[in-house]
Amino acid sequence: MSSPLDLALYVVKAIVDHPDRVEAELTDQDKGPCIRIRVVQEDKGRVIGKQGKTIKAIRAVVNAAFERSAEPEPGCTLSKEQGPFSVELAE
């Protein structure tokens, strides 16, 4: 994976029924970088999961992968000081 955004897209596309309609963007918020994910309405429940367990797991995987990387991948402009990532489902 070349970036946290790519990893988040990969994971979300693997669990939804309409992977071709998944969109994600990386934004900068006061708390740090945020990956906003958009899916069709019927896939939102799959991404959120029971009691939010799936979206929490996605956050954990994205942050763990970014923290474990020895050096940023080519093309990734984020530094470890910018983490942890917030991953949220867009309305």
What tokens were used for 51? 């009691």
CA distance 34 to 47: 16
pLDDT of residue 91: 63
Inform me whether the pLDDT recorded for 82 exceeds 70: no
pLDDT of residue 2: 64
Q: What is the pTM of this model?
A: 0.76
Taken in order of first residue, the domains within the chain and their CATH numbers are 4-89 (3.30.300.20)
More confident residue, 65 or 23: 23
CA distance 86 to 29: 9
Using only C-alpha atoms, what is the Rg of the chain? 13
| Number of neighbours of residue 40 by Cβ within 10 angstroms | 12
